[in-house]
Chains A and B, each alone.
Chain A
Amino acid sequence: SQQGEEDPQALSIQEGENATMNCSYKTSINNLQWYRQNSGRGLVHLILIRSNEREKHSGRLRVTLDTSKKSSSLLITASRAADTASYFCATDAVRSTLGRLYFGRGTQLTVWP
């Protein structure tokens, strides 16, 4: 079953603008991860935030985690056309000892030049 759900399903912005995507999940987690998928390709790991962390940065990416609300957000600052892709959150449930990840349906981000 899917654990995470991203919102919005689609997001269209101009280059230079910031893009914010949200993820909600259902059960307690060990960590939450964000992945990117270019059309027709495999997923690429972007960033991981542990359940005891509230915010994490990596380059133009900023991830927040609110475990009380069971939600996370991914912010891409100063977006570029090359950021156009689908973005997925994935959670590693607390009860899972085997590192199984459950993915949401993703947010399709389109950045117009």
Chain B
Amino acid sequence: AQKVTQAQTEISVVEKEDVTLDCVYETRDTTYYLFWYKQPPSGELVFLIRRNSFDEQNEISGRYSWNFQKSTSSFNFTITASQVVDSAVYFCALKANFGNEKLTFGTGTRLTIIP
């Protein structure tokens, strides 16, 4: 069985602060993929990043960075110098088992950036 846990239900930070969203996953598969999606107040789900289980390199994209650690089964997401536009619900998701396309989502973290 696959499981994704986002223990932080809601986070509020003041604009320009850094914030880290936690994601812990469980899977028995050796090959799997991890994703982050953003759901802004308008409601759509926006793809942010995909990571495969063979690549533990951290990734940085502008103010966003992701830290993947297989040893702790974590795939954390950091926003540096947060902005009001970052306010959204962020979902971590897991896809395992080549050929099984199902995405298992965490419950999401609601991030509010206070101006």
A and B are interacting partners: no
Residues of chain B having any CB pair with chain A under 8 Å: none
